[in-house]
Amino acid sequence: METFLKARFDLYQQGECLQLVQNVLQSCNNANAKQLKIDAAVAALTEISNNADAAYGGAALNSLTEEVIGLDFSRDEAVIGFKSVVSGFAKHFSPATKNAGKQLVASLNKYSRQIPRENLAIQTTILRNWYNDVTTNADFKAALVLLNIKDWADYINTQNEAFDAKYVQRSQIIGNNNQLNTVGDLLPQLQKSFRALLDEIAALTILDKGKGTYTALTNQINALILQYNTRAKNRLAANAAKKQAADNTNNSAKA
């Protein structure tokens, strides 16, 4: 059994490649890289990572990327939770409560049945329009009050607007960066050094003979890889679904 999950660099966006490496380096340093005897591999990866970050926009962009990812995750969770709750209310025994739940489910489905899977910019627009609907339409407003979840809708809007502000700020830095085209040249080196670090930890784990010295760090790194892989695969699936839907629409129009 392999010690580490395979990081799907082939599916990541450039910023995600850099951010995953930064997250893994932070985990290694927090675990005391020198004591774990991986400090040389960490130093080698850090140098390449710093060069790639500088080409991509530097520490400021790296920090913004992390904030954007965090805010996107936060709003996704909020939307998923909100829809789960109102879907439950849509099956309530009380006719009034059931109707309120159904109305709010419909308010979301009007735009998409899988809002968190939409691309980042489209999701931002969807949630902004949805919030406008539920705070201006009399029936939706009444449903929020009846179910006592107006604060949840407000939170979704707050997270969505915060995400948009950071996303725009990040895009401006990328747009102003004249060295962006050098990142692609550095990514193969970055991936090679990343794999070398993980291979070294895996080898040391074998030599550790079950003492568990590297278990916590290994689990942290695998959790990070899983998070980035899942996000990338969800994006790929969403894009494929949208393409299929567009193809079906085109085929129907031709029929």
Query: What residues contact 164, with CB distance under 8 A and at least 6 apart?
Result: 124, 128
Contact, 32 vs 201, CB < 8 A? no
Residue ranges of the domains in the chain? 14-57+180-254, 67-174
What are the tens digits of pLDDT across the range 56-107? Answer: 665 566 677 788 888 998 999 999 999 999 999 999 999 999 999 999 999 9
Please give the average per-residue pLDDT across 139-157, as a whole number. Answer: 96
Helix/strand/coil for 174: helix
CA-CA-CA-CA dihedral for 121, 123, 125, 126, to nearest 10:
160
Query: Which range has highest mean pLDDT (128-132, 178-182, 204-208, 250-254)?
Result: 128-132
Helix/strand/coil for 83: helix
Q: Which amino acid belongs to residue 140?
A: F
HSE value, Cβ hemisphere, 13 Å, CA-based, for 118: 19
Q: Which residue matches tokens 């530097």?
A: 58
Q: Is residue 23's pLDDT more than 70?
A: yes
Please give the average per-residue pLDDT across 154-174, as a whole number. Answer: 89
Q: Is residue 128's pLDDT more than 90?
A: yes
- Based on its alpha-carbon atoms, the radius of gyration of the chain, rounded to whole angstroms, reads 22
What is the full DSSP assignment across 19-57?
HHHHHHHHHHHHT-TTTTT-HHHHHHHHHHHHHHHHHHT
Helix/strand/coil for 102: helix
d(CA 16, CA 66): 9
Predicted local distance difference test score (pLDDT) of residue 53: 76
CA-CA-CA-CA dihedral for 102, 107, 113, 117, to nearest 10:
-140
For the chain, give the number of residues.
255
d(CA 61, CA 227): 20
HSE value, Cβ hemisphere, 13 Å, CA-based, for 131: 21
Query: What residues contact 75, with CB distance under 8 A and at least 6 apart?
Result: 123, 127, 156, 159, 160, 163
